[in-house]
Structures are given as structure tokens and as C-alpha cells.
């Protein structure tokens, strides 16, 4: 075993770092928009079931590969079965593409923090907020500079290594994130009319449960839990051999879901309180367009706005760090580049994708790329849409499928289960059930999502 390799100094540090990876733009930016678009409580119910029944088992499978091999995602597959090295390589490709756009969106968040901090907050009418956002993201240079700054912050943490960089920062940032989120949520649910929003979040209308909701909930769960791309292999590889992985994975999934629900509670009631049910139509635009408008109408709104974007920034940062770390570990261990050299050399090709993503926010300037699905045939879509579809609809589900097939059928769930148990060595609760899910249920369910997205052209 490589003795110079980093390790988490404590199990709590590992849980917070992995929860930091899971809790990200997916929870606070995407999740409330999805709940709104897919009918409230029904989506929430499906989501929670999927996290528990599919997400958690897949996360355990990934963590076990990492911990067994103590290697980066490519090295891990290579050492367990050379022919499956490609599976690790696919993970790195997915991570590379995600990071290139995650940094741009992270940069948008930093810009908003800056706007609130400098007191240059926005005017109080609806249209200017939307104009502000649209003009900012479609500008040619500014979003790139903010994106570069965001990436710089990630590099700053990652070059410091596992325990003195990522773990130390996560242990400080994650409690801050919880405090901020809870205070925002308490403010939100006590606004007049907020109750309607709370009801919308939890009321289950059975007609809202259908194939579309299922596909959306599954895609959201994988993205949000950071599974299907090798992050959990990498983070699992830094866990000392004695630890039991089951408890940690349950905790990570629990924290991630808790934050998603709290974020829903912090955002949806606010939208209801100020704009009524029509406000829900803004979907993904909530965070950047609807919320500043809402903050401007509330007493103390500037502070509230600052707190919200700071929260989003912390969440995005700890997730982006995990993506960068997973790529860096690969370059560092396989090519023997230093951490600094790895992160900097990664940033060069990545910036081409980031530039393409950012420029294509503006229809006049943007690049188009081909996208193929069975139902619509070949389409030319803006580069940003293709990058998101490529990762969310294709690579992440494919990665999760391959990880399950590998653990379930190639490496074997009995070896993986032994790894999950850690020092304890007695079978963990539901071990057989876990094995059944990884071998049969998860692959079938993932194939269904791939069918809907690639053949039916959904999403």
C-alpha cells in the first residue's frame, strides 16, 4: 500500500467531507426547482425512497471499491480487474466535464455574494432581476473571470491534501452551511402565506407520480449523492481500514437528503409567500432570479440574500473540491504529478469546456453541439445543454450501472460486503438485501432511466 497516501484523520472528518461533496448546487439550486416542476410531495416521496433503496446501496458499492484498493478511481478498477480500467476512466471523463460547468455556476454564485456584500443590491421590480441575471451570464468575459476565481478557491484547498486541506475545510464549512440554512429556513416558513408552500412540499397528489417523475427523481438522486462518477471511490479510498462504511454512508445520505428538504423549505414557501403558485414556474431560475426579487421585498432582505448566496457558495465549493480531488488523485497517483501540477494542468483543457459552456448561455454567441436520441434523432443543441445532458442523462447513470455490475457480478458482493464491515467483520444488517439491490434492482432501474432518456428523449 502507498504509505504516502493521504487518509482522513477522523471518521467525522470523512463524513463531513463526503456530505460536503453530496450537498451542493444539486440540493439548493436544482432540487427546489425539481420539486416545483414535478408536483411537490409526490416527487419528494419518490426521491426519498430512491435515495434509501438505490442511492445508498450504490454509494456503499463505490465506497467499498475505494477502501479495498486505497487507490484513485482508475487505479482502483485497474487493481481489481484490469479489463475494467475503462470504468474508472469513464468516471474521470464525467468528472472533468461536470467540473468545467460547475465552476461557471459557482462563479455566478460568487458574483451574487459580491453584489450583496458590496451593497450594490438589486432594484425591487421583477424584470430587472431577470435582466440582471441573463445579462450577467450571457456576457462574454465576466462570468469566466468569476469561474476562474471559483476554480482558484478549489485548487487552493485541494493542493493542501486530504486531511489538512479537504477535511479541515469541510469540518469548518459544513457546520456553517447548516447554521445558515436553518436560519434561512426559519425565516422563510414564518413569512405570511408561507404555509401554502409548506403544504405544497409535503402534500402527495398521487396523479403526480408517473414515469417522468421517476426519471427526474432518479437522476436528481444520483447527482445529489455524488454517485456514478467515482467521487465516492476516491473518498472511500482515504478511509482507514478499521471503519465500518455502512454507518458513514447512511449518515452521508441522511445529511444530503436533510439539506435538500431544508432547502426546499427555505425556498418554496418564500416563492409562495411572494408570488403565489405561479412563481413555481421559474424552476431552475429560482435561486438567481426569483429569490433576489423576494429578498428585496422582505425586511432585512439584503442580509437574507447575502446569507443565501454564501450558503450556496459553500455548498458548491465543497462539491467542486470533491470533483477536483478525484481527478487530481488520478493524475497524482498514476502519472506521479504533484498535486499543484495536476490541478493546474487539469485547469488548462478544462477551461476550453468552461468557456464553451459560458459562451453558449448567449444564443447569438454560443456554440452548438450534436446530441442524438432515438425519438428526436440528431439535434444541434447549445453546448451548455449538451454538456449537462451528457453528464446527467448518460454518463452518471452509465457509471452507476457499471459500478453495480462490477461489484455485483465481477468483483463480487461478498468481497465488497467484507470491506464494508470494516473491523467488525460480522455481517451488517440487511447485507443480503444490499447485495440483491446491487446485483438486480439497481441495474434494472438504471436501465429504465437510460431507456427513457436515450430512447424516449426525455430530460
Are 197 and 271 contacting, i.e. CB atoms less than 8 angstroms apart?
Answer: yes
Nearer to ligand LEU, 138 or 322 (CB): 322
Part in contact with ligand LEU (CB under 6 A); list of ranges 36-44, 147-155, 222-230, 298-306: 222-230
Q: How far is CA 292 from the centre of its chain?
A: 23
Rule CB under 6 A: say whether 226 interacts with ligand LEU. yes
As a whole number of angstroms, the distance between CA 24 and CA 18 comes to: 11
Rule CB under 6 A: say whether 236 interacts with ligand LEU. no
Nearer to ligand LEU, 61 or 194 (CB): 61
Shortest distance (Å) from residue 103 CB to ligand LEU:
12
Rule CB under 6 A: say whether 319 interacts with ligand LEU. yes
Part in contact with ligand LEU (CB under 6 A); list of ranges 167-175, 263-271, 318-326, 334-342: 318-326
Part in contact with ligand LEU (CB under 6 A); list of ranges 110-118, 218-226, 332-340, 399-407: 218-226
Terminal CA-CA length for the chain:
43
Backbone angles phi, psi at 229, to 5 degrees: -135, 0
Nearer to ligand LEU, 17 or 215 (CB): 17
From 64, 170, 213, 224, residue interacting with ligand LEU (rule: CB under 6 A): 224
Q: Pick from 343, 337, 351, 352: which is nearest to 324 by CA?
A: 343
CA distances for 451 relative to 95, 241, 264, 323, angstroms:
23, 38, 29, 27
As a whole number of angstroms, the distance between CA 84 and CA 437 comes to: 21
Nearer to ligand LEU, 75 or 219 (CB): 219
3-state secondary structure 358-384: HHCCCCCCCCEEEEEECCCEEEEEEHH
Site for ligand LEU in 73-102 (CB under 6 A): 98
As a whole number of angstroms, the distance between CA 32 and CA 211 comes to: 19
Rule CB under 6 A: say whether 58 interacts with ligand LEU. no
From 65, 151, 259, 323, residue interacting with ligand LEU (rule: CB under 6 A): 323
Alpha-carbon torsion, ordered 9, 20, 90, 92, to 10 deg: -70
Nearer to ligand LEU, 97 or 273 (CB): 97
As a whole number of angstroms, the distance between CA 368 and CA 451 comes to: 24
Rule CB under 6 A: say whether 257 interacts with ligand LEU. no
Rule CB under 6 A: say whether 33 interacts with ligand LEU. no
From 21, 170, 332, 360, residue interacting with ligand LEU (rule: CB under 6 A): 21
Instruction: Record the cell numbers describing residue 106, joined without a space.
Output: 459557482
Residues within the interface to ligand LEU (CB under 6 A): 21-22, 24-27, 98, 223-224, 226, 319, 322-323
Amino acid at each position: 500500500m502507498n504509505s504516502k497516501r493521504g487518509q482522513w484523520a477522523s471518521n467525522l472528518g470523512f463524513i463531513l467531507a463526503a456530505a460536503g461533496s453530496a450537498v451542493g448546487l444539486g440540493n439548493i439550486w436544482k432540487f427546489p426547482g425539481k420539486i416545483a416542476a414535478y408536483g411537490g410531495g409526490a416527487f419528494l416521496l419518490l426521491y426519498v425512497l430512491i435515495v434509501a433503496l438505490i442511492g445508498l446501496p450504490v454509494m456503499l458499492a463505490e465506497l467499498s471499491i475505494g477502501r479495498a484498493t486505497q487507490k484513485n478511481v482508475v487505479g482502483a478498477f485497474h487493481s481489481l480487474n484490469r479489463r475494467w480500467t475503462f470504468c474508472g476512466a469513464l468516471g474521470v471523463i464525467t468528472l472533468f466535464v461536470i467540473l468545467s460547468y460547475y465552476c461557471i455556476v459557482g462563479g455566478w454564485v460568487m458574483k451574487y455574494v459580491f453584489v450583496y456584500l458590496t451593497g450594490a443590491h438589486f432594484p425591487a421590480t421583477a424584470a430587472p432581476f431577470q435582466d440582471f441575471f441573463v445579462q450577467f451570464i450571457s456576457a462574454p468575459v465576466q462570468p469566466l473571470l468569476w469561474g476562474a476565481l471559483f476554480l482558484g478557491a478549489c485548487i487552493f484547498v485541494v493542493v493542501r491534501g486530504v486531511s489538512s486541506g479537504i477535511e479541515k475545510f469541510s469540518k469548518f464549512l459544513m457546520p456553517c452551511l447548516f447554521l445558515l440554512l436553518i436560519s434561512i429556513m426559519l425565516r422563510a416558513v414564518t413569512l405570511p402565506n408561507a404555509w401554502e408552500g409548506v403544504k405544497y412540499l409535503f402534500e402527495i397528489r398521487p396523479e403526480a407520480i408517473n414515469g417522468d417523475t421517476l426519471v427526474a427523481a432518479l437522476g436528481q438522486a444520483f447527482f445529489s449523492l455524488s454517485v456514478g462518477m467515482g467521487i465516492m471511490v476516491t473518498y472511500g479510498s482515504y478511509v482507514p481500514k478499521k471503519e465500518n462504511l455502512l454507518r458513514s454512508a447512511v449518515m452521508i445520505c441522511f445529511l444530503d437528503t436533510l439539506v435538500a428538504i431544508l432547502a426546499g423549505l427555505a425556498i418554496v414557501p418564500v416563492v409562495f409567500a411572494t408570488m403565489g403558485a405561479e412563481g413555481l414556474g421559474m424552476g431552475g431560475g429560482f435561486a438567481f432570479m426569483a429569490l433576489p426579487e423576494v429578498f428585496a421585498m422582505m425586511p432585512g432582505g439584503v442580509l437574507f440574500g447575502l446569507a443565501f448566496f454564501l450558503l450556496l457558495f459553500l455548498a458548491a465549493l465543497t462539491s467542486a473540491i470533491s470533483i477536483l480531488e478525484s481527478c487530481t488523485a488520478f493524475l497524482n497517483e498514476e502519472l506521479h504529478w504533484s498535486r499543484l501540477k495536476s490541478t493546474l494542468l487539469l485547469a488548462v483543457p478544462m477551461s476550453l469546456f468552461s468557456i464553451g459552456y459560458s459562451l453558449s448561455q448567449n444564443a447569438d454567441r454560443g456554440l452548438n453541439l450534436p446530441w442524438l436520441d432515438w425519438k428526436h434523432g440528431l439535434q444541434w443543441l447549445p453546448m451548455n445543454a449538451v454538456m449537462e445532458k451528457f453528464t446527467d442523462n448518460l454518463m452518471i447513470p452509465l457509471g452507476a450501472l457499471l459500478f453495480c455490475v462490477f461489484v455485483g457480478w465481477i468483483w463480487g458482493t461478498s468481497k465488497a460486503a467484507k470491506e464494508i464491515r470494516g473491523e467488525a467483520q460480522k455481517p451488517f444488517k440487511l447485507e443480503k438485501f444490499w447485495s440483491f439491490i446491487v446485483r438486480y434492482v439497481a441495474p434494472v432501474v438504471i436501465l429504465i432511466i437510460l431507456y427513457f432518456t436515450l430512447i424516449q428523449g426525455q430530460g
